[in-house]
Structure 1
Amino acid sequence: MTPTSRRALLGMAAAAGGALALPRLAAASTPSALQPGGRYDRYLRELAEKDQFSGTVLVAHRDRPVLTRSYGLADKERNIPNRADTVYALASASKPLTGLAVVQLAEQGRLRFYDKLGEHLGGFAADVAGTVTVHHLLTHTSGLAHPAPPGPEGVFTGVEERTEYLKRYAREMVLKDAPGTKKAYNSPGYEILGELVAAVSGKPFHTYVRDHIFAPAGMPRSAYYTRPEWLRDERIAHPYILQADGSRVDGVRHLDKGAVLGGAPGSNSARAFIGSGGGNGFASAPDLVSFARALREGKLLGRAYHELYVNGKVSAAPMGPPDPLRGEGFHAYGPIAALYRGQRVLGHGGGIAGGSTNWSIYLDRDWTAVILCNYDLDVEAIIAQEREAILG
C-alpha cells in the first residue's frame, strides 16, 4: 500500500465500536429499512441505476443474510457481473487481518506488545529500533514518517521484489514524533507489522494469514491474490478507476492509468503485484460474514486475547461531517472501535483507485454488514445509510 490517502480513510472513518463488557441487547425483528424493497435497498438501487455504485452489499443477522445485493460488472471486457460471492480487493479494510495475526502470535507467547521493533527486525535506525513498540505500530502511534514525499509508483513483477521494496522503504522511515504521543494513520507501519508476522512465525505473511485466519474462519475465496491471478480469475472484481472526463478505466488491465480525482493521484494498487500487511487482501462478502462468526465463536483467538484485539486503545478525532449520534472513536489492535447511538460496532474500511470497501460488526445487535465496491465512491455515505437502517 502507498502512504495514507484520503480515500483509504473514508470507510475507516465511519466504522465504530469497542468491545466493552456489556450484555447483548435482545434480538429484534428485521428493521423495515433492511428488508427487500426497504429504504436501504432502494437507496442502493438508485445509486446503481445512476452508475454511481458497482459492487456487492450484504447485511446479515446472526450469520443469516437478510439483504444481499449486487450491481454492475466485475469485468466489463468479459461482461462478468458482480455477484453475491464476487471477490474484491479490500484495500485498508484488510489491515485488521494484519493486527489479528500479530495478536495471535502474542497469544502464542512469541512476541509481546511492548516488544521494541529492533527485538524482531534488523536494519532500522537505532532510535526507531529502540523506541517503537509493537503496540505503537498496531495503534498508529509509532511517530514514523518517510522523509521524502512519495514518488511515482513502480510496477512490480513478483512477490519477492515487492517484499524487498517494502523492507527498504520501511528502513528509510524516521521518527517525526515521539512514539506514543500522537495518533497518525500509518499504512507503512502495518507493512512493517506484516514483515514482523513473517519473521516471528517463520512463514511468509500471506501464507500465515491463509493458514491461521482464512482457513480456520472458513473463508475459501479470500487470499492475497497476485496481479496475474487478479487478471485471469473470473471470480475477482476489477477496479474501475474514475478519470477526469468521467470515464472509468480497468486498473488491472491498464497499469499506466491511475487515480486522477482525490486520494493519491496516480495511484493504482494493481502495480504492487500483491498486497501486504498494509492492505489489499481480497475477500467476498460471505467470507467477511464468516470472519465475524469465527471471531465471535473463538476460532481465531481465545477470550482474553479476543478482548485485547477488539477493545479500543487510542482515541481518535472523528472524521467526516459532524454527527451527534457518533460517539468517540478509538483504534483497537487492527480494527476501528467506537460507539454509534450507544452501540458497539467494530470494523474497518478502505479505498484504492477504483475500489471502496467497509465491513462492520454490530457487536450488541449481532449484525454484520459488508460494502464492497469496484468503483471510486464516497463509501461513507453508504455506511451512514447502513447505520441508520440497522440502528435507526
Structure 2
Amino acid sequence: MGEIDKIAQETGFSGVVQIDRGGQVEFAQAYGLANRAYGVPNTLDTRFGIASGSKGFTALAVISLVREGALELSTTARSLLGKDLPLIADDVTIEHLLTHTSGIGDYLDEEVDAEITDYFIGAAHDLATTEAFLPLLDGHPTKFQAGERFGYCNGGFVVLALLAERASGVGYHDLVRERVLRPAGMTRTDFLRSDELPADAAVGYLPIDGVDRTNVFHLPVLSTGDGGIHTTAADISTFWRALFAGDIVSSVEEVVRPRCDVPEGSRRYGLGFWLDGTTDDVTLVGYDAGESFKSTHDPHTGTTCTVLSNTSPGAWPIARAFVS
C-alpha cells in the first residue's frame, strides 16, 4: 500500500487508514499528530470525531425503537413535538427524517455557500443535550413538501434524536450506547465532550486567519443526533460486521434498502446510510470543522475501507483513491 503512504506524505495527511477483509486487517497505518501543541502522534488506537458518520448510529437507535413498537416509520414528528418547532409540517414522519426527504428547514444547511471555518452554532458550550438544540432548530421555513425529493438535512437527525428521547424516555446518548455501541461491541466509541477530551482522542484542527486552530468553538460541546461521536478504525470495522450479522437490528436489509436516489454522485440513500448507485456497497461519511471521515463496506466480500482524519480536508485524497 505504498500509494497510500505517498498520498499521505504529499497531502500532509493526519489520521488513520485501515483496510480489512472478513475481519483480517490488510493495511492499517496512522499518520500525523493527534495533538499538535504537545506533539502527540496519532496511533491506530486514536479516537477521532466522525461528524455525520454517526448519523447511521442515530438511525439504528431509532429503528430499534420502531422494532419494539415505541415508534413507527409512519409516526409524525408533530405527534411527539407538540407545540415545539411549529414550522415542521404536520405530515413529516420518522421515515421522511431518516431518508432526508422531510423538506424541513435546516439549522446547518449544506446547500448554503459557506466556509468550514465559519461559526454556525453560537454558544457551543451550551449544546450538551438534545433539548438544548431546540432554539437552533426553530424558525427555519419548510424547503419542500415531505416526500417530494432528497434534500440532505442535518437538523432532521437532531429532530430524530429528540423524538427518540421523547418516545423512549431515555436520553439520546444512552440510547445509542445501549442499542448500537454495546450490541456491536464498539468498546472504544463514545460521546466525548470537546472541552475535556481524553488523552487518546485526536484534537480537530482547521486553518483560521492563517493559523491552525482547534475546532472547540465550531462544534457542539457534546455531539447529538446529526453526528460527531468519537471512534477508532477498528471499532468501525467491528460495527460493519455486527450490523450485517444482525447483532444491532435484525432487519438490516430494510436499513440498507434504497429508499431514494441522490441527485449528485450516482448514489442512493437508505435509512441513515449512503448506498452506491450500482453496487451493494454501504457507506458512512462525515465532514465538519476539524473532522473528516469515510468508511465503505462491501457486504459480499466483507471488505471495509476506512479513513479518519482530524482535519476537515484530510480524509478525501486517500478516500477518493481507495474508498469507493
Most deviating of 131-140 and 150-159: 150-159
Q: CA deviation at 1:371?
A: 0.6
Q: Say which SS state the counterpart of residue 53 (structure 2) adopts.
A: helix
The answer on 1:249 being equivalent to 2:217 is no
Give the aligned residue type for 1:157: H
Please state if 1:106 is matched with 2:66: yes
Decide whether the 8 Å contact of 2:12 with 2:32 is kept in 1: no
Q: Write the deviation string for residues 129-156 of structure 1: whole angstroms up to 9, x where unpaired.
A: 5210111111111111159989753233
SS in 2 for 1:242: strand
Give the Cα–Cα distance (whole angstroms) in 2 for the partners of residues 301 and 87 of structure 1: 25
- Asked if 1 retains the 8 angstrom alpha-carbon contact of 2:191 and 2:229, the reply is yes
Distance 1:384 1:178 in 2: 34
Instruction: Note if 1:336 corresponds to 2:296.
Output: no
Equivalent-residue separation in structure 1 for 2:143 and 2:59 (angstroms):
23
| Structure-1 residue corresponding to 2:259 | 313
**SS in structure 2 at match of 1:120:** helix
Distance in 2 of aligned mates of 1:217 and 1:148: 30
Partner of residue 350, structure 1: 286
2:53–2:294 CA contact under 8 A, matched in 1: yes
Q: Contact 2:205/2:212 (CA < 8 Å) preserved in 1?
A: yes
Superposition deviation, residue 50 in structure 1: 3.4
Residue aligning to 1:157: 125
Tell me: CA distance 1:152–1:98, structure 2 relative to 1, closer, same or farther (3 Å): closer
Write the deviation string for residues 148-189 of structure 1: whole angstroms up to 9, x where unpaired: 9897532333555x5333122323233221111121100000
Q: Is the alpha carbon distance of 1:308 and 1:369 closer, same or farther for their aligned partners in structure 2, counting shifts above 3 Å?
A: same
Provide the residue aligned with 1:88 in structure 2. Answer: 48
Paired residue secondary structure (1:145)? coil
Matches of 1:126 and 1:217 in 2, distance apart?
36
Q: Indicate yes or no: 2:165 matched with 1:215.
A: no
Q: Which residues of structure 2 form unaligned runs of 5+?
A: 113-118
Cα RMSD between the aligned structures? 2.2
Distance 1:148 1:183 in 2: 16
Report deviation, 1:103. 0.9
**What is the TM-score of this pair, normalised by structure 2?**
0.90
C-alpha deviations, 1:263-320, integer Å up to 9, x for none? Answer: xxxxx22xx1110101101111111111011112211011xx211111110111123x
Distance, in Å, in 2 between the alignment partners of 1:220 and 1:148 is 30
Contact 1:356 1:377 in 2 (8 A): yes
Show CA shifts across 1:221-250 (max 9, x none): 1111112332xx1110001112453x4223
In 1, Cα distance between equivalents of 2:67 and 2:291: 34
The answer to whether the 8 A contact 1:225-1:281 is kept is: yes
User: Is the partner of 2:285 in helix, strand or coil?
Assistant: strand
Alpha-carbon distance change, 147 to 298 in structure 1, aligned in 2, over 3 angstroms: closer
Is structure 2 residue 92 aligned with structure 1 residue 136?
no
In the TM superposition, 1:293-304 aligns within 5 A as 293-302=241-250
1:145 maps to 2:105: yes
- For the pair 1:385 / 2:321, whether they are aligned, the reply is yes
Give the CA deviation at 1:335. Answer: 0.6
> 1:154 is matched by which residue type in structure 2?
G
Q: Hey, what's the Cα distance between the residues in 2 that align with 1:72 and 1:51?
A: 11
* Number of residue pairs aligned between Structure 1 and Structure 2: 316
Among 206, 215, 228, which residue is 1:280 paired with?
Answer: 228
TM-score by length of 1: 0.75
Q: Is contact 2:162–2:172 with CA below 8 Å preserved after alignment?
A: yes
- Which residue, 207, 228, 236 being the options, matches 2:201? 236
The one of the two structures with greater contact order (alpha-carbon pairs below 8 A, sep at least 6) is: 1
Quickly say closer, same or farther: Cα 1:203–1:335, change in 2 above 3 A: same
